[in-house]
Structure 1
Amino acid sequence: MIFSQDITGLVLAGGRGSRMGGVDKGLQTFQGQPLALHALQRLQPQVGPCMLNANRHLDTYQSFGVPVHADVLPGYAGPLAGFLTGLTYCSTPWLLTVPCDSPCFPLDLAQRMAQAAVHAQATIVLAAGPQAGRDGAVSVRPQPVFALLHRNLLPSLQTFVQEGGSKIDTWTQQHPHALCRFDQASDDAQAFANANTLQELHMLQGQTALD
């Protein structure tokens, strides 16, 4: 069994925000507060300690009240850089990552991911949840930046990125891994909706305001 205190939560807010015009995505407003803060507050009740991964405006992120760590790799190296940073500073057996731009993730995310890890005897669990495609149709898709990772994976990930690896699925397939499906009728179709552009952020804001 994995207890909530065994899991460190990490909000990933270290991207370039290129599809938002280069703005710091985690500081864009959602429901009256920064996206990253909203994600942090949604994650904190589910886990033990929490931290943030950010590469700009570190003083602002530090005001959220948890440790803030910049990428341990240079050049905005993507989600794996966030994973590596989180594992580097993780003090619990497990690390749970969530992106700052999917602010409606399930309130039982950590619990169900932990159950999947135990059931599958996996050291990596990735979420798979309902998400609307461009045509509006909703299907269950892997959400690889929602990841539960065992702390012992740090040396493996260090080696992988040092050898030039950059794809999450290529690395995860090297280890016992599992998908945690969030596809029950009770799951919100917006749970894993992400805001890559300001237009998508405004749409998500409007959709959640109607719920």
Structure 2
Amino acid sequence: MSLPNKPAYTIDAVILAGGMARRMGGDDKGLVELNNQPMISHTIARLSPQVDRIMINANRNQQRYAEFGFEVFSDNDSGYLGPLAGMITAMGNTQADYLLVVPCDSPLLPTDLASRMLNTLLVADAEVVVASDGQREQPVVLLLKPSLRDSMKAFLDAGERKIDFWYAKHHYEVASFADQPEAFVNVNTPEQKQQLAKQIAQ
């Protein structure tokens, strides 16, 4: 089954920018400059042609994030509870058929991310699809049904935090992007940022 670049199903995306970025010295990763643009700008540019709507999950600097022109929301559950909290809020904030979740610090995301993940989900009749670079699953790059919100909230409320433990409880499939493994390179340290800046410049 092949799908057009922008699928017939409605897909909203949430960019997770809600973390504390301890390894970046506490700097807000989505707003860290990468080749003269905030990191999240690169992510937005990749996603915009692929989805119907973009939301940004941020727990600080909301006004700065709002300047990108998309809806910005913080976690419903306070206390920096990790990516699950942002996903739960986003699932309650969408009317789309599917929600695509990505982090704010992966500026080279595939340009066919949404269509390839949706294709995997439909063929397998899965509830969740997680991306893989061919070597490792990327646990915060997901396509999922918003109806799974209650399940994820119960998981978080039980004190669980690891997203891969949650999706293992559901019918999930892996979408391989082994043909473009660099797509999921993310930036956690200033050194990684310098390396990636060189890569993008080339």
Q: CA deviation at 1:31?
A: 2.6
| Cα distance in structure 2, aligned partners of 1:36 and 1:72 | 22
Tell me the equivalent position of 2:183.
191
Q: CA deviation at 1:110?
A: 0.4
- State which of 48, 60, 84 in structure 2 corresponds to 1:44: 48
3-state SS of the aligned residue for 1:55? coil
3-state SS of the aligned residue for 1:147? strand
- Which structure 2 residues correspond to residues 70-149 of structure 1 after superposition, within 5 A? 70-130=74-134, 140-149=135-144
Gap runs ≥5 in structure 1: 131-139
- AA matched with 1:79: P
Q: Are 1:173 and 2:173 an aligned pair?
A: no
Residue pair 1:4, 1:110 contacting (<8 A) in 2 also: no
Query: What TM-score comes out, normalization by structure 1 length?
Result: 0.90
- AA matched with 2:87: F
Q: Provide Cα deviations, 1:54-104, integer angstroms capped at 9, x if missing partner.
A: 011100100100100101111111111121121121120110011111110
Moved segments of 4+, more than 3 Å: none
Q: Provide Cα deviations, 1:9-49, integer angstroms capped at 9, x if missing partner.
A: 11111110100001111100113211112211211110111
Q: What's the RMSD between the two structures over aligned residues?
A: 1.4
Identity %: 41
Equivalences, count: 198
Residue pair 2:106, 2:185 contacting (<8 A) in 1 also: yes
| Cα distance in structure 2, aligned partners of 1:162 and 1:113 | 28
| Cα distance in structure 2, aligned partners of 1:41 and 1:11 | 12
Query: What TM-score comes out, normalization by structure 2 length?
Result: 0.94
Q: CA deviation at 1:4?
A: 5.5
